[in-house]
Amino acid sequence: MKKLPVLIIGGFSVFLIVTVIWIGLGSSFYFYQTVKSGEIGIQFKDGSIKAIVGPGTYSDVGRFVDLRVISCKAIPFNMTDDVVTRENDVVNLMIEGNIFRICNDQDLLKEKWGLFSDIFINDDSAQRYAIRTTRQAVKNCVDSYDHSGNIIEDEGANLRICLAEEVNQLARNVGLSVEDIVISNIR
């Protein structure tokens, strides 16, 4: 009869020790993690970027190793904005485009990772950043042109070119590029 409580306590102790070891080793390895086509992987060791890798299957063992996967595919975004021109006209714009993470510039990724890792990993964060920068670029572009004529007919193409340049200049600072900007519903 006395052996039953000892077995229960012993079994619980073994379970507890195995659990603690498993949790402790959790950040010490990864096995067979896949980086698919259209993605890159960032391998970490001791909290620093060890390597940036392309598609394949990866495993590593060591102290504080990790593999983060980043999509290089287009992330669509759209926004509407009311902009007041110098002539105090309110212009309603609907802007659409695609965001791309700059996956082929390893130096830029390494440089910007510490500040902007959430934008690299999370599509929603990248979309929010693109919308904020597009909103800022719209104000810069609308203020830089004299829209004495019809903004739709006279300045639509110039506004799109200006927006593409401004947005990309701002987005490049965090490792993104914005392409395929379309402006519609200019009222």
Q: How does residue 142 score in pLDDT terms, banded at 50, 70 and 90?
A: confident
* pLDDT exceeds cutoff 70 at 156: no
Q: Copy the structure tokens of residue 3.
A: 């052996």
Q: What is the mean pLDDT of residues 115-131?
A: 92
Verify that 33 and 102 share a domain, yes or no: no
Say if residues 122 and 71 touch (Cβ distance below 8 Å): no
Count how many domains the chain has.
2
Per-residue pLDDT at 69: 94
Verify that 26 and 108 share a domain, yes or no: no
Given 71, 99, 119, which residue is the final one in a domain?
A: 71
Q: How does residue 46 score in pLDDT terms, banded at 50, 70 and 90?
A: confident
The DSSP-derived string for 32-87 is EEEE-TTEEEEEEETTEEEEEE-SEEEEEESTTEEEEEEE-S-EEEEEEEEEE-TT
Verify that 173 and 107 share a domain, yes or no: yes
* pLDDT exceeds cutoff 60 at 177: yes
Given 54, 71, 88, which residue is the final one in a domain?
A: 71
Verify that 67 and 84 share a domain, yes or no: no
Q: What is the mean pLDDT of residues 55-62?
A: 91
Verify that 66 and 92 share a domain, yes or no: no
Q: Indicate the average pLDDT of the chain.
A: 83
More confident residue, 140 or 51: 51
Verify that 113 and 22 share a domain, yes or no: no
Per-residue pLDDT at 54: 94
> Cα(93)–Cα(79) distance, rounded to whole angstroms?
8
Which pTM was predicted?
Answer: 0.75
* pLDDT exceeds cutoff 80 at 161: yes
174, 54, 34, 179: CA torsion to nearest 10: 40
Verify that 178 and 109 share a domain, yes or no: yes
Verify that 80 and 25 share a domain, yes or no: no
Verify that 84 and 64 share a domain, yes or no: no
Verify that 52 and 104 share a domain, yes or no: no
Domain of 21, in residue numbers: 3-71
Q: What is the mean pLDDT of residues 42-56?
A: 92
Q: What is the mean pLDDT of residues 95-105?
A: 91
Q: Copy the structure tokens of residue 15.
A: 């379970």
DSSP SS3 for 94: strand
Q: How does residue 42 score in pLDDT terms, banded at 50, 70 and 90?
A: very high
Verify that 58 and 98 share a domain, yes or no: no
> Which residues, including other chains, have CB under 8 Å from residue 10's CB and lie 6 or more apart?
none
Verify that 89 and 66 share a domain, yes or no: no
Side chain identity at residue 43, one-letter code: Q
Closest by Cα among 61, 72, 67 to 41: 67
Given 33, 53, 71, which residue is the final one in a domain?
A: 71
> Cα(144)–Cα(149) distance, rounded to whole angstroms?
14
CATH number of the domain residue 156 falls in: 3.30.479.30
Sign of the dihedral defined by the CA atoms of residues 38, 43, 44, 50, in that order: negative
Residue with tokens 């402006």: 183
H or E segment at 97? strand 90-101
Q: Copy the structure tokens of residue 30.
A: 């990864």
